Every structure is written in C-alpha cells, then in structure tokens.
C-alpha cells in the first residue's frame, strides 16, 4: 500500500513536470499553429543554465534567473527565427524547430561536454521530508511538487483573469480581430512563445538535478511531451494536465509494480511456455514495456479519438 | 478625415480593387453600396491593413497604407467586420474590455454607455459571446469597437440577417455614434438605412466606384440603381 502511494506520488510529480512542458507547447501550438519540436530543448537549456548559475550564486537565484533567460532566448528565437520563416508556411516552421533542436543540443555539447554535469539537489532540501512505514520521501521532491502546482495555478489565473490572458484566448480563434482592435498580436505571439519556453525552463531547473542534466535529456523527454499534448487534445490546457498526470502515474506504477503482462497474452490463448519469438514476449513485465507505453497510448488515441481527450480539432 | 486615392488590392493573381478613391469627412456618415462580391469588404480590409493595399490612404492627414492593422487601429480607425468576429469563449464584458486599447478606459464611451444603449448586453454581461443571437452579436461587435474610442468607424454590413426592428436599432446606434462627433464609413447592400442616415453615398461595381453623390442624387438616378444595385 505505501509503495503504491509513494509510486503514485512520484507519478504525479513526473506528470506535473510533463505538464509544465506540455502546457507551453500546447499553448504555442493553438495560438500560432507551430508544433515546436525544440520545446524540450528549452527544458534542457533551463537545466544547464541553472547548473551554471548555481555554481556562482547557488540554486535559489538559479531558480529565478534561469527561466527568465530561457524565456528571453525563446522570445528571440520567435522574433528572429520563427517569424521570418512563418510566411513559408507551417511545414517550414516545423523544419525550423526540428533543426533548432539539433543545433541547441550540439551547442550545449560544445559548451558543457557530452557527459552529465554535476547539477545537484540543493543541500537544504537534500533530506527526507518524512518517513512513513520505513519509506523516506525526499524534501526536494515535495518542493518540486509545490513549485509545479504553484506554476499550474498561476498559469490558469493568468490566462483566465489578466488582460493579456484574455487577448491570448481571443487570439486563439480570431487573431486578426484582436489586432484590428489595436493590440499588437505579433508581439503577443512572441512573448507567449517566450513564456512557454520559460515554463519549460522552470521544469528544467527543478527537474534537471533529479533526472540528470545531460545533452540527451531533451531527446528523451521531448517525444513524451508530444504524446501528452496529443492525448490531451492539441490546444487544451486541461487535456494536457490530465494526460500528463495519467502518463506520469502509469509510467511510475508500471515500473514499481513490475508485473508480468502474461495475462494479456493468456486472453488470446497463448501458452506460457510458448516457443520461439513468443517466448520472449510472454515473459515481458510492465516495467519492461513502460518506455513504450506512452507511444502505445498515442497510437491507440490517434486511431480511436484523433482529437484527443479534450481537443476540439483532429490532429 | 479619410482620403483614399487610387487603391488597388489583389487576392493572389486576381485584381480585386482597381483604383478606388473615396473620402470621409469629419463627423460624416458615408455609405459604400454595391452588390455581392464587388469588393466593398476588400476596400475596408485594405484600408485596415488586413489586405495589402496599393495606393494612398490618408487618415487624419497621415499616410497609413503599409502600416500594420494594430497601428492603424491605434491611430483611431475602428473596424467592425462583416462576420462580427465575437470572441466566443469570452464573456460579453470581456469582449468589451478587449475593445479598449489599454487597461484604463479614457475614451468617450464607457461600458455603462453601452449597457444603456443595449440593456440586452447588460443582462448578458457574463455569458459567453458565442451563445448570443446574431443581432446581439452585431450590437456587441459595434460596442466593442467603440470601446476603443475610434474617430472613424468602418462597419461592414451591420444589418445583414437582422430582423426589421433590429435594423432600426442599428440605424439609431449609428446616428448616436455620429452625434458624438465620430465619422462612419458604412458598407451596405440594401438601401434601407443607408439612404436615411448617410450624408453621401458611393456605389461600387467590379472593383471601382461607379457613382458618388448624396442620397437624393441616388434616389433620382434610376439608371445607376438599376445597373449597379437592384438585383
Ligand atoms: N480571401 C479571398 N481569397 C480570394 N478571393 C477573395 C477572398 N475574399 C474575397 N474574394 C473575392 O474578392 C471579390 C470581392 O470580395 P468582397 O468580399 O470584397 O465583396 P463584397 O463586396 O464585400 O461582397 P459580399 O460581402 O456581399 O460578398 C469577390 O469576387 C470574392 O470572391
Ligand atoms: Mg462583404
């Protein structure tokens, strides 16, 4: 039971991290029609910046400053990269972000090398927050959860209550009308892009020291974020939240409770002692297939409900 | 107030506006009439910068051809599009708030003014714009643009699809707007309200102005009406 709870808790945490990436990605997509392949690279950038800054002034200033710089880099990328490419259409934009992801990875390797950098959890929080029936839960993980929930609440309030949030909502369906009311929509796009990148940056700052800060971290996480926004429904923040939590929890449970998936095969009458190729399959466990689970869900979702859980249009 | 000279516009290769010239003077209601598809909406969109204009467009003495539409709006040109473009998920109040050009309303129209003109909007202040009736959406669209305190409003077919008593209401509002020292460029297809409230009218046919004069001139000119207006 306690193992189940702890594992679910970790799942929620992982899910909230995914949400921080997915929310920005889905917002940018629904506003500008751009599927930003480089989105997870901004997550990585956040982790590296946080590492670098924390070597000078410590973790707490990094938590503040790194996302700001990442957001600024994002805004510049939109203004001087994406916007000129925009008039060549969405395919060109897609290719641009695709290329950008590789460029960012290479640049990071050039600066910080191929091996993980020693970006660690801050001393202050590197303790157990509580112990329950012999299991310890780290204070840093609680802190991560707190930050991600706070970001989530702030994001929703921002979109629902502020004037800029209203402009963003209005521009989702009628960008031209928003502009003819006198609002500078291209600039709103630029800052929304930067803001989405900053959210990914925050996830990098608080997640990089737990997940490991290395040049492949974007490539590892990026595809899962895409799965999240497709399952949640492109453009839907709520969908992104639910899908992120769902994938986070499933992933953790599948690994923690490394159950055999043989019963699935039994359903189809495959014998336990199957020969040849089947013998490997029937002996798989849920932990073994956990990396592929999100993609399996993606494929099923696309087949049976292409608009995702909360989406309003097909992918 | 607004001087358009030799305006051309294109959709891809098709040459839609072929040298349109028109004027709107301060405090004046001017109508732009014509059949479907002659390019009336395109004219307004080109003035607003939503379609690329070729030619000269002066607003309050300043050349605006080539500016972005938000800058044009900031100069005091308001636009109410044909399809109204209400923000469907935002409430009536939020729609109106976005009409304001900045967070503080310093213009000559307050939200209270709007609610007094259209008590319906007050009753529905907190409902999403998307569920309003066509007539209510039209009123909301006009009020939203007024909240930005324009000096000239371009209104594209405000009476399209409205019941007769709502059409009257629109005419009333347009007169009310003009009485607050605003100019109006009204695009219409039917002559009903246009002849009643306009100081001058233009008739458009195939991307050009084919007639210009007072409503009285147009009433007398059977030939123009038959060739360019009646179906
Ligand atoms: N986005 C577009 N792409 C290509 N052609 C267009 C586009 N919009 C309008 N047109 C064409 O331009 C011409 C003028 O259209 P416009 O909308 O200005 O007409 P209109 O006078 O406002 O008439 P109505 O509003 O009754 O359709 C029409 O022939 C129309 O088919
Ligand atoms: Mg039209």
pLDDT tens sequence across B144-191: 999 999 999 999 999 988 888 888 888 888 998 888 889 999 999 888
Q: What is the DSSP letter of B52?
A: -
Residues with Cβ within 8 Å of residue B70, at least 6 apart in sequence: A179, A180, A181, A182, A183, A184, A185
Shortest Cα–Cα distance, A167 to chain B (Å): 7
Spatial strand order in the sheet of B183-188: B77-80, B152-156, B183-188, B29-34, B200-205, B208-213
What ipTM does the predicted assembly reach? 0.92
Whether this model's pTM surpasses 0.90 = no
CATH classification number, B2-228, choose in 3.90.1310.10, 3.90.226.10, 3.40.50.300, 3.30.70.2860: 3.40.50.300
Residue A2 CA to its chain's centroid (Å): 27
Residues with Cβ within 8 Å of residue B144, at least 6 apart in sequence: A181, B86, B95, B96, B98, B99
**Cβ–Cβ gap A182/B145 under 8 Å:** no
Cα distance between residue B89 and residue B130, in whole Å: 6
pLDDT tens sequence across A18-33: 999 999 999 898 888 8
Looking at the predicted structure, is the pLDDT value of residue B45 above 90? Answer: yes
Residue pair A254/A7 in contact (Cβ under 8 Å)? The answer is: no
Shortest Cα–Cα distance, A281 to chain B (Å): 49
Q: What is the DSSP letter of B76?
A: T
Q: What is the DSSP letter of B91?
A: B
Q: What are the domain boundaries of chain B? A: 2-228
Q: How many CB pairs under 8 A join A and B?
A: 60
Helix ranges, chain A (H): 2-32, 39-57, 59-77, 83-86, 90-112, 139-161, 163-173, 175-180, 185-211, 217-232, 237-256, 262-267, 277-282, 286-289, 293-304
By alpha-carbon position, which residue is closest to atom 2 of ligand 1?
B11
Best residue in B46, B98, B152 for a mutation probing chain A (most A CBs within 10 Å): B98
pLDDT tens sequence across A240-263: 999 999 999 988 888 888 777 777
Indicate the pairing of strand B152-156 with strand B183-188. Answer: parallel
Q: Which residue of B has its CA nearest to A179?
A: B70
Coil/strand/helix, residue A273: coil
CB burial of B205-230 (b: ≥16 within 10 Å; e: otherwise) equals bebebbbeeebeebeeeeebbeebbe
Best residue in A162, A181, A184, A237 for a mutation probing chain B (most B CBs within 10 Å): A181
pLDDT tens sequence across A63-116: 999 999 999 999 999 999 999 998 898 899 999 999 999 999 999 999 999 999
Looking at the predicted structure, is the pLDDT value of residue B29 above 80? Answer: yes
The β-bridge partners of B202 are B32, B212
Cα distance between residue A167 and residue B34, in whole Å: 34
pLDDT of residue B40: 94
Cα distance between residue A207 and residue A17, in whole Å: 7
Looking at the predicted structure, is the pLDDT value of residue A315 above 60? Answer: no
Cα distance between residue B137 and residue B153, in whole Å: 17
């Amino acid at each position: 039971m306690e193992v189940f709870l702890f594992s679910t808790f970790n799942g929620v945490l992982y899910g909230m991290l995914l949400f921080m990436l997915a929310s920005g990605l889905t917002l940018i997509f629904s506003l500008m029609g751009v599927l930003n392949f480089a989105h997870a690279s901004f997550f990585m950038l956040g982790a590296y910046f946080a590492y670098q800054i924390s070597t000078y002034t410590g973790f707490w200033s990094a938590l503040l400053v790194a996302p700001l710089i990442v957001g600024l880099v994002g805004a510049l990328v939109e203004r001087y990269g994406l916007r000129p490419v925009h008039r060549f259409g969405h395919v060109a934009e897609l290719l641009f972000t695709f290329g950008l992801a590789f460029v960012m990875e290479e640049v990071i390797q050039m600066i910080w090398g191929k091996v993980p950098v020693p970006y660690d959890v801050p001393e202050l929080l590197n303790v157990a927050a509580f112990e329950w029936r012999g299991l310890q839960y780290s204070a840093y993980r609680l802190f991560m959860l707190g930050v991600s929930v706070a970001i989530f609440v702030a994001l929703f309030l921002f979109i629902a209550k502020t004037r800029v949030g209203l402009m963003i909502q209005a521009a989702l369906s009628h960008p031209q009308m928003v502009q003819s009311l006198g609002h500078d929509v291209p600039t709103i796009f630029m800052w929304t892009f930067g803001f989405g990148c900053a959210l990914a940056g925050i996830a990098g700052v608080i997640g990089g020291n737990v997940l490991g800060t290395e040049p492949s971290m974007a490539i590892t996480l990026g595809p899962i974020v895409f799965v999240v926004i497709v399952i949640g429904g492109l453009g839907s923040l709520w969908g992104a939240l639910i899908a992120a939590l769902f994938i986070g929890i499933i992933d953790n449970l599948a690994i923690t409770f490394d159950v055999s998936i043989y019963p699935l095969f039994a359903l189809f009458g495959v014998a336990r002692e199957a020969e040849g190729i089947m013998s490997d399959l029937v002996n798989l466990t849920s932990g073994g297939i956990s990396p592929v689970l999100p993609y399996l869900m993606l494929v099923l979702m696309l087949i049976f409900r292409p608009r995702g859980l909360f989406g309003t249009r097909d992918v | 107030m607004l001087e358009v000279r030799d305006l051309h516009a294109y959709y891809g290769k098709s040459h839609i506006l072929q040298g349109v010239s028109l004027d709107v003077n301060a405090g004046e209601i001017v109508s732009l009439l014509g059949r479907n598809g002659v390019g009336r909406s395109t004219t307004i969109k080109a003035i607003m910068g939503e379609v690329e204009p070729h030619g000269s467009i002066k607003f309050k003495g300043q050349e605006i051809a080539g500016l972005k539409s938000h800058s044009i709006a900031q100069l005091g040109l308001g636009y109410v599009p044909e399809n109204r473009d209400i923000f469907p998920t935002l409430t009536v109040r939020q729609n109106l708030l976005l009409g304001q050009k900045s967070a503080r309303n310093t213009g000559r129209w307050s939200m209270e003014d709007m609610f007094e003109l259209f008590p319906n909007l007050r009753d529905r202040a907190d409902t999403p714009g998307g569920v309003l009736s066509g007539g209510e959406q039209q009123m909301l669209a006009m009020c939203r643009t007024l909240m930005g305190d324009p000096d000239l409003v371009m209104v594209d077919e405000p009476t399209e699809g409205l019941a007769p008593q709502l059409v009257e209401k629109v005419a009333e509002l347009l007169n009310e707007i003009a009485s607050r020292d605003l100019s109006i460029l009204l695009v219409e297809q039917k002559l009903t309200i246009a002849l009643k409230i306009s100081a001058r009218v233009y008739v458009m046919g195939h991307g050009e102005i084919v007639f210009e004069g007072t409503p009285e001139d147009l009433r007398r000119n059977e030939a123009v009406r038959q060739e360019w207006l009646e179906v």
